[in-house]
Structure 1
Amino acid sequence: MYKISHLKQFNPTLAQNRFIFPIFFFFFFFFTASTAIHSKTSISHSRVKKKKKLPFALSEIVSTTPSFFSSGERQHAVVLGPPLCGSGEYRSFRSSYIILSLVDESPVNSSSSDDFAAFLDAELSDTNPQQEEEKQESDDDDADDNDDEINAVIERTKRRKISVVDDTEEPNGSTSHIVQTEVTETSVKVDICIHPGFIGGMCIKCGEKTDDDTQSSVAFGYIHKDLRLANDEIARLRDRDLKNLLRHKKLYLVLDLDHTLLNSTRFSDLTQDEGYLLNPNDPMQDALKGSLFKLPFMNMVTKLRPFVHTFLKEASNYFEMYIYTMGERAYALEMAHLLDPGRVYFDSKVIAQGDCTQSHQKGLDVVLGQENAVLILDDTEQVWSKHKDNLISMERYHFFASSCKQFGYESKSLSELRSDESDTDGALATVLKVVKRVHSMFYDSELGENFAGRDARQMLHAVRSEVLKGCKIVFSRVFPTKFQADNHHLWMLAERLGATCSTEVDSSVTHVISTDIGTEKSRWAIQENKFLVEPRWLEAANFLWQRLPEESFPVKFPDVRLNIISKLDQVNQVIGIDLLSQSLLPAIVELAEDRHWRVRLASIEYIPLLASQLGVGFFDDKLGSLCMQLLQDNVYSIRDAAENNLKRLSEEFGPDWAMQHIVPQVLDMIKNPHYLYRMTVLRAISLLAPVMGSVITCSKLLPVVVTASKDRWLRKASSHVW
C-alpha cells in the first residue's frame, strides 16, 4: 500500500493536497485491474479464433482470366469459379473470378496437388486440446455467431477438390502455383453462349461482337431497332408465349391495314364529287366524325372502316393482335395511332414493309406466335402464299374514288355516293362472327384442357367448308382457253368453300357458273332447271361466309359486238375487209376501254384474230397503240393477257416486225414510276425472248433485265426472267 510519505518523494505538490489522493488512487487501481482482465480475455479469444482461421484470405474480384499473376508473386490463387449473374445464369470464363490468395503459412514449395489439398484439409480440421479447453471457456461469448459463419465456409470449402493447374518456374528457382477448383455436381456450372439474339451485331446475352449475325436469324426491327433473333430463340419465345396465351384462352390475329381496316388517299386524288370531305361545314361531317381523319403532314386523308372500333374491342377479348402492312413504317404507326390511340390493342406489334423478309410477300416468320394459333385478315391473298390456310380474305373497302380506280372499278365510290358500309352487316361485323366461332371451337370445353395437336387452321377450314357444302359446280367460259381448270383460283375457292367441282355436266351438278348465257353448258343448266350464276356469286359467298340467293347473280346476255368479233372470218366473207375495218374499228376501241374489266379482257383475246384478218398495215395504224395501252391497265388479268398478245403478234408478223413496232415501246415502259408496270415489262420480255432469237435477246432485251436486277422492287422478278 502506498503511503503519503512515498508520494511526497514522488510529487510533493500532490502530497500536500489530501483531497487528490483518493481520486488518484481509485483511477490507478481501476486502470491496473482493467488492463489485466482485458489482456487475459484477448489471449483467450485470439486462441479460439486461430483454431478457425482459414489458410487463405479473400484477395480481390477481377475481370480477367486467372493467368494475371506474375512469376515473381509468391502466392497461390484458388479459383472458385465464375460468380452468379443477376439473371441466374453464369458468365463465361472471361467473366469475373473470385481469387483467394494463400497466406504465408501455405507450403509454397509443394509440388503435389494432393499434398496441398491435404495441407488445406489439415488446416481446416485440426484442433489441439488447449484449443478445445479455450473453446469450452468461451461458449458463452458473443463470438459464437461469427464461429457459425466460419464453420459454414469451412464445410463448403472442404467439399471442393483442389488441384494445381499451373506450375511456373520463377527466375530464382522458386515455384508459383495457380490452383483451380474443379467443379463438382453441386458447384458452379459454366454455359457456352449460344447467341440467342443480336442488336447491332452484338450478342444480347454475352455481348460478343460478330460481323455476320444474319445466319439462322430473323430481324425483329419493330420490337427494337437492329434486333435479330436466332431461330432457336424464336422457337423458345413462341413456345413460352403460346403457353401464356393458352392460359388466357386467346389466339393470335394478324390484321392488314389498307382496304381491310381503313382506306387512305392523297388530297390531290380526291375527285370533285369528294370535295365535301374537306368542307367542315358540310352536313356529312357529323356522320363522318371519328372515322374521317385529315393528315396534312402526310398529305392524305384516311377513312376508318365502319364497325372497326367495335371489332377491335371485341376481338381483343379473344386474340392477341398484330398489324401487318406493306406500307412504310411511318404510315403504319400513324394508322395504328388512329385505330388504337390508347395503345391497348397493338402496342409495339406493328409490322411494316421494312420488316418483311421477302419482297412483296408477307410471312409469319416475323410474328412471335405459333402458326397453328394464328388467324390472318387481309384483302390480298397473293401476299400470303405460304399461309393461305391461316387467311380469311376480306372484301376490299373502297371508300375513295382513287381506290376504285386502282383496282379497275369504273363505278362510283362510296364517298362519291355519300354512302358507306353497314355497321351491323358489313365485312368486319361478318368476319368477327367467324373468328369468334373459330376461337370457340379451339377452346371447346368438350375437348378438355390438353391443347396439344389443336390447330386453328383446321377449325377455320371446318367453318369455311360449310359455306357451299352440298353444291356441285361446273364452270363455263370462265377460264382461259387451254387453262388447267383445277389450277384456277375460282375452282380452288369453290373447293375451299366446301363445293365439289367438275368439268362435265351430269345430273348431280347443282350450279353452272358462266359469263355467257349462250354456251352449251349454260343452255343445259336452263333446260335442266339448274342454277346458272355469274362468278360474283362465288366471290360473294367467300366474303360473306354464306350461300347467297342465286337469283341475285344472273348471267347477263353477251355483248353483240363480242359475238361479231368472234365470228370475224365469216363476217369478212360477207361484207369485205374494207367495210369491216371501217365499221368495226370504233367498236373494238370502245370494247378495249369498257368500264367492265371482263369486257376489256374478252376484247384482248380477239386482237390476234383481228390482226390476221385485217393485215399488218391495219394493225400498225389502228391497233398497235391499243396493245401498248392495255399493258398499263389497272387490272392484272388484263396486263397478263396483253403480254401474251405481244407474243402471239410477234409470232404472226415475225421478229423483224416486232423489233420495229413492239420491242422499243415495251422497253421504254421500264422507266414507268409504278413498279407493277415495270414488272409487266419483265414478264413481256420473258415471253418475247424465245420468239426474237438469241441475237436480239442478248443485244436488246438482256441489258434491260440486268438494269432491272438493281431495282429493289424488281430484283426477285428479274431473277426468274430466264
Structure 2
Amino acid sequence: MGTSSYAESVLKLIDPDQVYFGHQVIAREASPDYKTLELVKADDKRRVVIVDDTVDVWLYDKRNLCKITGYNNFRDHRTRSESYAEEKKDESRSKGSLASVLKFLQEKKLHLVLDLDHTLVHSRLVSDLFIKEKYLLEETDSRLDLWRCNVPSHYEYLIKLRPYVHEFLLEANKLFTMHVYTLRSSSYVKTVLKLIDPDNVYFGHRVVRKGASPYYKTLDLVLADKRRVLIVDSFDVWPYDKRNLYQITEYRYFRKLRARSESYAEQKKDESRSKGSLANVLKFLQDVHKIFKEELDCKDV
C-alpha cells in the first residue's frame, strides 16, 4: 500500500506512456488501512480479478483474489538467507510467479481471432482507384481513418480503417485474448498493425500470416484451446472451423473491381459507427463473454 508519489514513480518505469493503467490508480491515501473493490471503477465486482501478494489487506474481497508469491530482489532486514541480488540471480522469466499468474488469467479468458481485410480495414492499390475515388488522395493528411502507405514489394496503398475499429479493439481486448489471422504478406500486415495497434497492446506477437497456411485458415495454427476460440471473419476461408466462426459483413469502402454499383468512397459516405458491423459484433461478443463468465463462476463455486 504505497503512497501516490511512490506509485507515480513506479508507473513512470513500467507504464511511461500510460497505455496500461491510464489514471486508474488507487494509492494509500484513499484507504490507508485496507484495500477494497469499492474504490475500483468496475460495473460488476464479479468480473474483477485481484493479483496481490498480501491476502490480509483485502478484508472483504478475498473471493476475487489471485495470490501471487511476493517478489523480493533485495534482502528483508529480518531474514537470514541471501537475496536474489546478493546471489546475483533472479526469478525465472518463463516459470516465475508472473508467468504463472498470466497463464491463470489466460485460462479465464476466451480467445478472439480477427481477420484484417474487410473486417477491420479495407485497402486498395492507389493505381486501382476508380476515377471518382481519387479525391481521397488529397484527404489523407487531414483524416485519421485514411492512410496512404508504401508497402514494401507491393507498391502504394490507400488503407481505410473501418468505422468504430478503435473502440471495438479497446473493448474487445478487455474480454478476450486477441489474435490476428490473415492471408496477406508480412509486410502488408506490419503496415496495417502500425495503424490499428501502434503500441502493440492488442495483439502482441499473436499474428498468423499467409506463409503458415497460404490457401485457407485453420485453428491448428492458433495457440489456444479450440473450445475457447471465437473467429470473426468470412466463412469461405475456414473450411474446418466453421463452428467457431461468426461471419461479419464485409467492409468495402472502395469499389470492388468489375462491380457496377458505386462504393462508399464514391458516394462520399461510410458505414455507421454506432449501428455498423463492428458495433453489432461487439454486442455479440459481450453477450458471449457474459455467458462464459457465468458458467465459469458456477464452476468456481
TM-score by length of 1: 0.26
From 292, 297, 314, the equivalent of 2:171 is 314
Report the equivalent of 1:649.
none
| Aligned mates of 1:375, 1:241 — CA distance in 2 | 20
Deviations 1:214-273 (A, max 9, x none): xxxxxxxxxxxxxxxxxxxxxxxxxx9764323xx4210000011110001101111110
| Aligned mates of 2:286, 2:103 — CA distance in 1 | 18
From 159, 163, 175, the equivalent of 1:302 is 159
* Residue 360 (structure 1) shift: 1.2
Report the equivalent of 1:31.
none
| Aligned mates of 1:446, 1:326 — CA distance in 2 | 34
Report the equivalent of 1:253.
112
SS at match of 1:432: helix
SS at match of 1:337: helix
| Aligned mates of 1:263, 1:257 — CA distance in 2 | 8
Asked if the contact 1:241/1:369 (under 8 Å) is kept, the reply is no
| Aligned mates of 2:150, 2:243 — CA distance in 1 | 39
Q: Which runs of 5+ in 1 are unaligned?
A: 1-239, 452-722
Report the equivalent of 1:389.
243
| Aligned mates of 1:259, 1:334 — CA distance in 2 | 16
Deviations 1:18-71 (A, max 9, x none): xxxxxxxxxxxxxxxxxxxxxxxxxxxxxxxxxxxxxxxxxxxxxxxxxxxxxx
Give the 4+ runs in structure 1 shifted more than 3 A.
240-244
Asked if the contact 1:252/1:319 (under 8 Å) is kept, the reply is yes
Report the equivalent of 2:136.
277
Q: Which runs of 5+ in 2 are unaligned?
A: 1-100
Q: 1:273 corresponds to which letter in structure 2?
A: K
Report the equivalent of 2:230.
375
| Aligned mates of 2:148, 2:229 — CA distance in 1 | 33
Deviations 1:595-625 (A, max 9, x none): xxxxxxxxxxxxxxxxxxxxxxxxxxxxxxx
Identity %: 38
Report the equivalent of 1:436.
286
Instruction: Count matched residues.
Output: 199
| Aligned mates of 1:275, 1:349 — CA distance in 2 | 35
| Structure number with larger C-alpha Rg | 1
Deviations 1:158-191 (A, max 9, x none): xxxxxxxxxxxxxxxxxxxxxxxxxxxxxxxxxx
Deviations 1:119-146 (A, max 9, x none): xxxxxxxxxxxxxxxxxxxxxxxxxxxx
Alignment of 1:131-142 (within 5 A): none
TM-score by length of 2: 0.62
Q: 1:259 corresponds to which letter in structure 2?
A: H
Higher helix fraction: Structure 1 or Structure 2?
A: 1
SS at match of 1:395: coil
* Residue 446 (structure 1) shift: 8.2
Alignment of 1:373-522 (within 5 A): 373-378=228-233, 380-401=234-255, 404-405=256-257, 409-444=259-294, 448-450=298-300
| Aligned mates of 2:296, 2:120 — CA distance in 1 | 34
Asked if the contact 1:265/1:400 (under 8 Å) is kept, the reply is yes
| Aligned mates of 1:342, 1:363 — CA distance in 2 | 27
SS at match of 2:147: strand
Asked if the contact 1:255/1:324 (under 8 Å) is kept, the reply is yes
Asked if the contact 1:336/1:350 (under 8 Å) is kept, the reply is no
| Aligned mates of 2:245, 2:296 — CA distance in 1 | 26
Deviations 1:522-544 (A, max 9, x none): xxxxxxxxxxxxxxxxxxxxxxx
SS at match of 2:299: coil
Q: 1:400 corresponds to which letter in structure 2?
A: F
Report the equivalent of 1:560.
none
Asked if the contact 1:242/1:369 (under 8 Å) is kept, the reply is no
| Aligned mates of 1:294, 1:271 — CA distance in 2 | 16
Alignment of 1:497-646 (within 5 A): none
Q: Does residue 264 in structure 1 map to residue 133 in structure 2? A: no
| Aligned mates of 2:252, 2:105 — CA distance in 1 | 38
SS at match of 2:220: helix
| Aligned mates of 1:310, 1:320 — CA distance in 2 | 16
Higher relative contact order (CA 8 A, sep 6+): 2
Q: 1:303 corresponds to which letter in structure 2?
A: K
From 239, 244, 249, the equivalent of 2:105 is 244
Asked if the contact 1:333/1:350 (under 8 Å) is kept, the reply is no
Alignment of 1:106-145 (within 5 A): none
Q: 1:274 corresponds to which letter in structure 2?
A: E
| Aligned mates of 2:146, 2:286 — CA distance in 1 | 28
From 331, 335, 338, the equivalent of 2:192 is 335
SS at match of 1:448: helix
Q: 1:343 corresponds to which letter in structure 2?
A: N
Identify if the C-alpha distance between structure 1 residues 242 and 440 changes in structure 2 by more than 3 Å, giving closer, same or farther.
farther
* Residue 349 (structure 1) shift: 1.2
Report the equivalent of 1:461.
none
| Aligned mates of 2:110, 2:285 — CA distance in 1 | 10
